């Protein structure tokens, strides 16, 4: 089986789907890797490193699509709706695509891929089960998001993070409030604490209190009825509007007392819940910073603008939508481990074999043999007839995807 890797075409995307280090393991599994020349350069992986590990370097993008049985990408057409259309013309019926696909948002591109006869497996729908932990690309990339969000805030904030006792007096530490203690939130806590900030955190799931405190942060306890706040997989459920309003009210003081607020609450396929209102922003001290990791779906802050940095009421609000691409070396390294492990899971005797009794395959398979086979995605594209496919969780952990 030949697996192809091409240079990502999404604007600003510097990651690459596979890195040289995973090529030998794929080769041991009967998988040959072909790479578009320069595909890994922006992430810090030159062609020579791939070649040294056994990958074949092809000069033309079209040649990779022509030779490969499976194409591994960071962003397939669904997550790259504009520039990705050019690749649709290069793909052939029966080919398999593996990568982020935004299937709960990009219903149109998913239907296009089905009509083209492509088999699509979406990395963001990987089930949160023990067997799939090493394939969980959302978590690996959320780790990067949480880390980088703190650095973005530190760069903008007009004060230092740690407490310092100097001859010129004692400098008070920065106070940070992190909303959402999923993977991104926990990494943000750990990074902020390493830099010396005093950190408070909130999550609708009381079960994460111990994790928050183990990292040296204080868990904000609010008097809400949170039974059923998470599902069996550990995802935080979307709350109703009344609960969201009560949550906002109780967090107002915490936001006002903070120099930095980092928000991470996102729900796949839905608009991000507004947790920080314009009024709450107005209550913050001038010079404060908000980094909204849910900006791609509208943002947790009412004043967030995706991919923009704005100043409102003297507060700087940053709305990044692709922080992992700003740390492309390690983001690619982690993603390559996820996708190569997934690929080997699907491979037997050098061939791709989709076992529909397997939960991992069931939940990630979106299209096959000209059909949209995933139940929730079928509903989104207006197909009522049921097919053999798995359901995807209705919820998400409180971290940006």
Q: Establish whether 50 is a catalytic residue.
A: no
Same domain for 179 and 288, yes or no, is yes
Average pLDDT over every residue of 198-221: 94
Same domain for 104 and 125, yes or no, is yes
CATH of the domain at 256: 3.40.50.720
Indicate the number of domains in the chain: 2
Average pLDDT over every residue of 70-86: 96
Residue 150, domain member (yes or no): yes
In this model, does residue 384 exceed pLDDT 80? no
In this model, does residue 393 exceed pLDDT 50? no
What is the pLDDT confidence band of residue 380, given thresholds at 50, 70 and 90?
confident
Q: Establish whether 259 is a catalytic residue.
A: no
Beta-sheet strands, E only, within 268-361: 289-292, 309-312, 315-318, 347-348, 351-352
Instruction: Lowest mean pLDDT of 25-29, 115-119, 217-221, 309-313, name the range.
Output: 217-221
> Cβ contacts of residue 337 below 8 Å, gap of 6+?
22, 134, 140
The 10s digit of each residue's pLDDT in 254-303 is: 999 999 999 999 887 789 999 999 999 999 999 999 999 999 999 999 99
What is the pLDDT confidence band of residue 236, given thresholds at 50, 70 and 90?
low
What is the pLDDT confidence band of residue 206, given thresholds at 50, 70 and 90?
confident
- Distance, CA of 124 to CA of 89 (rounded, Å): 24
- Distance, CA of 5 to CA of 64 (rounded, Å): 7
Same domain for 89 and 125, yes or no, is yes
Residue 386, domain member (yes or no): no
Question: Which among 136, 200, 203, 259 is annotated as catalytic?
Answer: 136
- Distance, CA of 360 to CA of 128 (rounded, Å): 9
pLDDT of residue 400: 33
Structure tokens at 193: 């604490």
pLDDT of residue 395: 34
pLDDT of residue 399: 36
Residue 388, domain member (yes or no): no
The 10s digit of each residue's pLDDT in 152-166 is: 999 999 999 999 999
In this model, does residue 232 exceed pLDDT 70? no
Q: Establish whether 235 is a catalytic residue.
A: yes
Same domain for 345 and 314, yes or no, is no
Instruction: Tell me the percentage of the chain whose pLDDT exceeds 90.
Output: 81
- Distance, CA of 238 to CA of 267 (rounded, Å): 7
Q: Establish whether 115 is a catalytic residue.
A: no
Question: Which among 95, 139, 141, 333 is annotated as catalytic?
Answer: 139
**Where in the sequence is the domain holding 68, given as residue range(s)?**
2-136+328-380
Q: State the Cα torsion 326-329-332-338 to the nearest 10°.
A: -120
Residue 399, domain member (yes or no): no
pLDDT of residue 360: 97
Same domain for 333 and 321, yes or no, is no
Average pLDDT over every residue of 371-398: 65
Question: Which among 92, 131, 133, 214 is annotated as catalytic?
Answer: 133
Q: Which of 134, 141, 152, 140 lies closest to 191, judged by CA?
A: 152
pLDDT of residue 381: 79
Buried b (16+ CB within 10 A) or exposed e, 27-42: eebebbbbbbbebbeb
Question: Which among 128, 175, 297, 376 is annotated as catalytic?
Answer: 128
Specify the pTM: 0.90
Same domain for 116 and 7, yes or no, is yes
In this model, does residue 385 exceed pLDDT 90? no
Residue 215, domain member (yes or no): yes
Residue 19, domain member (yes or no): yes
Same domain for 319 and 341, yes or no, is no
Residue 401, domain member (yes or no): no
The 10s digit of each residue's pLDDT in 24-54 is: 999 999 999 999 999 999 999 999 999 999 9
Same domain for 321 and 373, yes or no, is no
Same domain for 288 and 337, yes or no, is no
Q: Establish whether 133 is a catalytic residue.
A: yes
Same domain for 259 and 312, yes or no, is yes
Residue 160, domain member (yes or no): yes
Same domain for 120 and 44, yes or no, is yes
Same domain for 113 and 219, yes or no, is no
Question: Which among 10, 235, 302, 399 is annotated as catalytic?
Answer: 235
In this model, does residue 387 exceed pLDDT 70? no
């Amino acid at each position: 089986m030949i697996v192809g890797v091409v240079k990502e075409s999404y604007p600003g995307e510097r990651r690459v789907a596979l890195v040289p280090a995973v090529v030998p393991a794929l080769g041991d599994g009967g998988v040959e890797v072909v790479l578009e020349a320069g595909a890994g350069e922006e992430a810090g992986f030159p062609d020579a490193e791939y070649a040294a590990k056994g990958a074949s370097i092809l000069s033309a993008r079209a040649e990779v699509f022509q030779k490969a049985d499976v194409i591994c990408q960071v962003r397939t057409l669904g997550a790259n709706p504009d520039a990705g259309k050019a690749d649709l013309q290069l793909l052939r019926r029966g080919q398999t695509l593996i990568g982020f696909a935004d299937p709960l948002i990009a219903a149109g591109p998913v239907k296009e891929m089905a009509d083209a006869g492509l088999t699509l497996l979406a990395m963001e729908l990987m089930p949160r089960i023990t067997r799939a932990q090493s394939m969980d690309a959302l978590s690996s990339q959320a780790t990067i998001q949480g880390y980088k969000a703190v650095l973005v805030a530190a760069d903008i904030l007009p004060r230092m993070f740690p407490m310092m006792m100097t001859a010129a007096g004692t400098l008070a530490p920065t106070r940070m409030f992190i909303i959402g203690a999923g993977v991104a939130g926990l990494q943000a806590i750990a990074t902020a604490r390493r830099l010396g900030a005093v950190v408070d955190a909130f999550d609708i799931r009381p079960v994460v209190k111990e994790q928050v405190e183990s990292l040296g942060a204080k868990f904000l306890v609010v008097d809400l009825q949170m039974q059923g706040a998470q599902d069996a997989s550990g995802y935080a459920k979307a709350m109703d509007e009344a609960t969201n309003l009560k949550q906002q009210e109780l967090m107002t003081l915490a936001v006002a007392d903070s120099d930095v607020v980092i928000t991470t609450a996102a729900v796949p396929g839905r608009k991000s819940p507004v947790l920080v209102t314009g009024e709450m922003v107005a209550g913050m001290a001038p010079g404060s910073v908000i980094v909204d990791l849910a900006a791609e779906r509208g943002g947790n802050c009412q004043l967030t603008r995706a991919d923009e940095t704005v100043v409102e009421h003297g507060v700087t609000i940053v709305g990044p939508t692709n922080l992992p691409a700003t740390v492309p070396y390690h983001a690619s390294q982690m993603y390559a481990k996820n996708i190569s492990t997934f690929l080997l899971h699907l491979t037997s005797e050098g061939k791709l074999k989709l076992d529909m009794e397997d939960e991992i395959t069931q939940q990630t398979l979106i299209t096959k043999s000209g059909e949209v086979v995933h139940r929730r995605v079928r509903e989104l594209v207006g197909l009522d007839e049921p097919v053999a496919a798995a359901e995807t969780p209705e919820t998400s952990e409180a971290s940006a995807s």
